[in-house]
Amino acid sequence: MTVHVTTSLDGKVLEITLDRPKANAIDAATSRELSNAFVAFMADPVQRVAILTGGGEKFFSAGWDLSSAADGESFESDYGAGGFGGFPELPNRTKPIIVAVNGMAVGGGFEIAMSADFIVAAEHAQFFLPETRVGVLPDAGSVRLPRLLPRQLANEIIFGGRRLSAQEAMNWGIVNKVAPANAVMDTARALAAEICLSAPLSIAAVLDIIRETEDLSIADGYAAMRKNEAYITAIHSQDAMEGPNAFAEKRDPVWKGK
């Protein structure tokens, strides 16, 4: 079986590369490869942050492989535990994911990027959703994009195929950082290193709180947060004492994840 997903570990950071020429399009088998990589990442206590990127320089991912669709693959196919793209539907995710967009993020490729916690984009990257032009629909994009952009702009992208440049995407708050093409991964690695300075239980709690409270009022969000198990675990952890102790002793904290 041809392998289209490779991984490498750099300290606490797992780098995952989708490399399926010519456009890094994703069929069900490739999605399952991505899902397996992300499931293993979540289960490994050493790994703190994952960076997903695409092989080559032209495409991050062209999204769903339409040739597979023509051969009978459907939206109901088995895309793995994390759904299409490996992680967007992983339940109770406790670790952050950075997407390093090295080229065009098209259709499902854009939807995967929207599902990440951080996006670093090459200067030449573009983001667009052409699904309605080929008779299907951007299911994740229809749910996520109107929450990220003003409704009229989101509609223009969803209905009309409007493309966002990397700089436009950053101006609208979708992208965290824009970098030259040859610096995209180094920029993503620097961001991952910054995240790794924080306590792992704190990061896990923040991710869980965001998921649980994003559709609640502020008052209801506070109430839900105080009852959140990840929040309670984090504030009563050994790491919650280690942080203040390290500050008082003028040293770097040593996180135990306990």
Token reading at 155: 């509609």
Element (H, E) at 169: helix 166-171
The alpha carbon dihedral of 118, 125, 29, 74 has a sign of: positive
Residues 6+ apart with CB under 8 A from 201: 230, 233, 234, 237, 239, 240, 257, 258
Strands (E), 79-222: 97-101, 104-106, 118-122, 126-128, 164-165, 177-179
Please confirm, yes or no, whether 89 is among the known catalytic residues: no
- Active-site entry in 15, 33, 73, 131: 131
Element (H, E) at 36: helix 28-43
Q: Distance between CA atoms of 143 and 147, rounded to whole angstroms?
A: 7
- Active-site entry in 15, 33, 73, 111: 111
Please confirm, yes or no, whether 111 is among the known catalytic residues: yes
Report the catalytic residues. 111, 131
